[in-house]
């Protein structure tokens, strides 16, 4: 699984826009917002580029990855620590 790299500004902006779009469409859904937001940052699954960042595509990725919220929380904490200035 690959995450959007910090040296590709276009990929970062795409991930941010995908996250915004996802949150705008989350109401009434039964998926974990944390997991879906995390999926917006994933570039590859099983070594293959993920082609679909529509709300439905993100939901399919979340189902395919099946990552528990506790694990996603750990990733978020690691990402926050890495993004904080020393």
The answer to whether the pTM exceeds 0.75 is no
3-state helix, strand, coil in the chain (%, to 5): 55, 10, 35
Segments of the chain assigned E as strands: 2-3, 42-45, 48-49
Amino acid 67: pLDDT: 86
Query: 37 is written with which tokens?
Result: 């937001």
For the chain, which ranges sit under pLDDT 70? 1-6, 24-30, 86
Amino acid 30: pLDDT: 67
d(CA 73, CA 27): 21
């Amino acid at each position: 699984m690959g995450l959007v790299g910090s040296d590709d500004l276009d990929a970062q902006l795409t991930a941010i826009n995908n996250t915004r779009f996802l949150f705008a469409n989350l109401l009434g859904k039964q998926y974990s917002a944390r997991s879906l937001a995390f999926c917006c940052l994933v570039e590859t699954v099983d070594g293959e580029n993920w082609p679909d960042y529509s709300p439905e595509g993100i939901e399919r990725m979340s189902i395919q990855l099946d990552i528990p919220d506790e694990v996603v929380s750990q990733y978020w904490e690691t990402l926050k620590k890495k993004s904080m200035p020393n």
